[in-house]
Structure 1
Amino acid sequence: MGMEKEGESTCEPATPVLRISQLDALELDSALEQLLWTQLCHCFQNLRPGLLTPLEPELKALLQLLLWRFTLYPGSATVGQSLLSLRYRNISTSPNLRKSLSHRQKLALLLLTVGPRWLQERSHSLRRCLGLTSGAPLSDGFQKALRNSLAALSGLARLASLVNFLAFLRTGYHPVLAERMVGAQAVFSEPSVTRDVTYQYVNRELLWHGFAEFLIFLLPLINTSKVKASIYSFVLGGDPSGVGGARDKEGAWRECALCGEWPTMPHALGCPHVFCYYCIKSQSIANNCVRCPKCGTEARRLEPAKIETLLRH
């Protein structure tokens, strides 16, 4: 994360940041806060259950303060923005200058980010202390007016956030209302470099993409078991000893020639090998001409395997 001096500015035109990049930066910041909170909870998991619950809003605000102190305050960029090569710039003075945020703007951004979250999580406790909870009897008109004012203020804040987000979708600037209020705008931390993509590169990528789609369409149509059996039969001449090595014939019935497991409902094709009924049946449904993948013997008749018959082969 680059350190910037107060008041540093350049006259280079800023390349607009994609909307999805700004939203991704917010999601990364939220994920980091959640990760830190989870790690903090794990530190107290062996203590009394519910120990952190009464102080949860304050502890979360403290974590956000620490993140602000070591990320946004020294470098004008959050963790999510740093991962995406973004940072904040000050547009309150001159929109065309890449000037970093002032200390006052950074502090205001902290208060407008942490403060509303803390108030939202503590709103029920605060209303209960003031006797403004819903259903509670109100002693005078002042408490009633105060409760209505707080409800209207909360609704107004949500409406302002919605309008700001709609404006962000329209213009591509300030996804958070606090950024618009303090005059902070996300820009690239380094001037963007134009990438020159040649015609040969694009043509090669299109050709490879078309070839990959053709393979994805073709591979499911190939009967790999039949191809494997044909290769074994051609290379090894149909000799089962060439495939099984030094394994004796007495052990051939102990595993399925297709799946390699102990055969379930063993069946045979007329060769010394056995198959699970469901393995060989699925092969016969997919292919009319079934061959043994071990020796290449073509299936004559599928019948339950008998050890005496297998040992005679």
Structure 2
Amino acid sequence: MSLPTSSLFRERERGLPPRVNQLDAERLHEEILDLLKQEVSGVFAYLPFGWLQKWSPEIDLFLRLLLWKYTVWRSAPSPADSVQNLTFDLERSCFIGSVGPSERSGRKRLPLNIRLLYALLHILLPWLLARLKQHLQNAEDPFPSSRHHQMRRPGLVTLRQVETAERVVEALSLVNLVAFLLQGRYRSLSSRLLGLQMREANPDVQRQISFEYMQRHLYWHSFTELLMILLPLVNLRALRLMAWRWASRASAKVREEIVRWQERVATLSGAQTSLKNGSGGAGLEGVEHGGSKGSAEGKWRGGGETINSRCPLCSDAVMTSEIEASCGHRFCYFCLSSACAADRDFACPLCAECVDWYRWPRRRRAPPLL
């Protein structure tokens, strides 16, 4: 009685590489092409607008031909196949033509017709279909006179035929994928048409599965989902106003210390006589009241302009719907009302005084005409 063996060991006995390695190699090959296209796009980024989109199929054709020249033409595995420990199985492949040795290396190579047909199926035909479809779409009339006239146009019929051919190829590729998952041979439709099979380059190498990359992705996605759930629940405006209040109180204390230090320096230097003058005393008194009492009447000057000339929240010189708070400073109506709605204990950023109420400012009467 023989013990049941897994499909992996049965495939190893038949010389077939794991299906997941073959599919990963196909996907990695396309990702390598995408990386090369990104680098080429960066080189031609400063060319006139639309140039890169116009010649994008030709750039893709050039990159695919470059990879084909250094891989299939030399009967060598692609970089993606090398990463997955895969190479061409020249012994089991059922293609037309003889496998002859290379003149330089002496190793077996793919037949010339297979290499050329591979380039035709993998590179030239997709480029021709993309160019033909783009040409027919550009030639199509966006505003046809009638539906009957549109149906009879030869260009549109050809476009529909091209789209039908693409759907047929996609359906055949799906059938080939199902057959590949069942048999483990011919990972693509073109490989089945050419009879190309893959094998393990080094059968003695053990397959090592690492879940570190997957775990990092799971951790990152879990963290982002947690942030997406928690961020809408956090009142960011209240946090910003709290930080602003703390900074304004700290700046008010710093201003008070500066004023006290200036008074001490003036006293020690014998500047008491200058303080008795009207202009100097009034100026110092204004600074003292602005630093100690928080400029309740909005008369503290900083940078040559009064506090009330700008909204303390949005720093806009032209306040929209100007409104006066209980501390005497003026804000934009939307800024102050939204701040008070977000934080009941909202304090003025300039004087650190809690805003209990706000009202429309009283209009000053125009001076009488002389």
Q: TM-score, normalised by structure 2?
A: 0.47
User: Measured at CA, do residues 305 and 58 of structure 1 come closer, stay the same or move farther in structure 2, by a change above 3 Å?
Assistant: closer
Q: Could you tell me how far apart the structure 2 residues matched to 1:101 and 1:273 are?
A: 88
1 CA distance for matches of 2:163 and 2:334?
67
Matches within 5 A, 1:250-265: 250-262=305-317, 263-265=319-321
Higher RCO (CA < 8 A, seq sep 6+): 1
Say whether residues 1:288 and 2:344 are aligned partners: yes
**Per-residue CA distance 1:9-66 (angstroms, 9 max, x = gap):** xx997683385774363355367569869989998x79xx9xx99xx98997566433
Out of 170, 188, 203, the position equivalent to 1:176 is 188
- C-alpha distance in 1 between matches for 2:243 and 2:189: 64
For residue 118 of structure 1, report the CA deviation from its aligned partner.
5.3
Contact 2:16 2:185 in 1 (8 A): no
Is the 8 Å Cα contact of residues 89 and 199 (structure 2) preserved in structure 1? no
How far has the Cα of 1:281 moved from its partner?
1.6
How is 1:71-150 mapped onto 2 (pairs within 5 angstroms)?
72-73=72-73, 76-77=77-78, 81=80, 85-86=83-84, 88-91=86-89, 93=91, 102-104=109-111, 106-117=115-126, 120=129
Instruction: Give the aligned residue type for 1:76.
Output: P
Structure 1 match to 2:331: 275
| Letter paired with 1:113 | H
Counterpart AA for 1:66: L
Matches within 5 A, 1:1-313: 16-17=20-21, 19=23, 22-23=26-27, 25-26=29-30, 28-29=32-33, 32=36, 64-70=64-70, 72-73=72-73, 76-77=77-78, 81=80, 85-86=83-84, 88-91=86-89, 93=91, 102-104=109-111, 106-117=115-126, 120=129, 157-167=169-179, 176-181=188-193, 182-185=195-198, 193-195=208-210, 209=223, 213=227, 216=231, 219-220=234-235, 223-228=238-243, 230-232=245-247, 235=250, 241=291, 247=302, 250-262=305-317, 263-305=319-361
Pair 1:20–1:255, CA change in 2 (3 A): farther
Quickly say closer, same or farther: Cα 1:292–1:13, change in 2 above 3 A: same
1:228–1:107 distance in 2 versus 1, CA, 3 Å: same
Number of equivalenced pairs: 257
Q: Distance in 2 between matches of 1:30 and 1:264?
A: 51
CA contact (8 A) 1:14 1:191 kept: no
Note if contact 2:19-2:184 (Cα within 8 Å) is conserved in structure 1: no
Which runs of 5 or more structure 1 residues have no equivalent in the other structure? 1-10, 126-133, 137-149, 309-313
Relative distance call for 1:91 and 1:227 in structure 2 (3 A) is same
CA RMSD of aligned residues (A): 5.8
Contact 2:19 2:181 in 1 (8 A): no
Using a 3 Å threshold, how does the CA distance of structure 1 residues 294 and 58 change in structure 2: closer, same or farther? closer
Which of the two has higher C-alpha Rg? 2
How far is 1:77 from its partner? 1.4
Alignment CA distance shift 1:191-1:15 (3 Å): farther
CA distance in 2, matches of 1:101, 1:34: 35
Does the 8 Å CA contact 1:61/1:114 hold for their aligned counterparts?
yes
Q: Deviations over 1:66-96 (max 9, x none)?
A: 3421455455216xx38x945752245369x
Query: In 2, Cα distance between the equivalents of 1:265 and 1:258?
Result: 14
SS in 1 for 2:336: helix
Letter in 1 for 2:30: L
CA distance in 1, matches of 2:246, 2:210: 48
Contact 2:321 2:333 in 1 (8 A): yes
Q: Which AA in structure 2 matches 1:26?
A: E
Give the 3-state SS of the residue equivalent to 2:21 in structure 1. coil
Query: How far does residue 289 in structure 1 lie from its aligned partner after superposition?
Result: 3.3
Normalising to structure 1: TM-score of the pair?
A: 0.53
Q: Secondary structure at the match of 2:173?
A: helix
Distance in structure 2 (CA, Å) of the matches to 1:216 and 1:90: 53
Shift, 1:248, TM fit: 6.0
Instruction: Measure the CA separation in 1 of the matches of 2:356 and 2:314.
Output: 21
Cα distance in 2, alignment partners of residues 188 and 303 from structure 1? 82
Contact 2:89 2:197 in 1 (8 A): yes
Closer/same/farther in 2, CA of residues 251 and 180 from structure 1, 3 Å limit: farther
Question: In structure 2, what residue type is equivalent to 1:223?
Answer: A
1:18 and 1:58, CA in 2 relative to 1: closer, same or farther beyond 3 A?
closer
SS in 1 for 2:87: strand
- Greater mean alpha carbon deviation, residues 229-238 or residues 291-300: 229-238
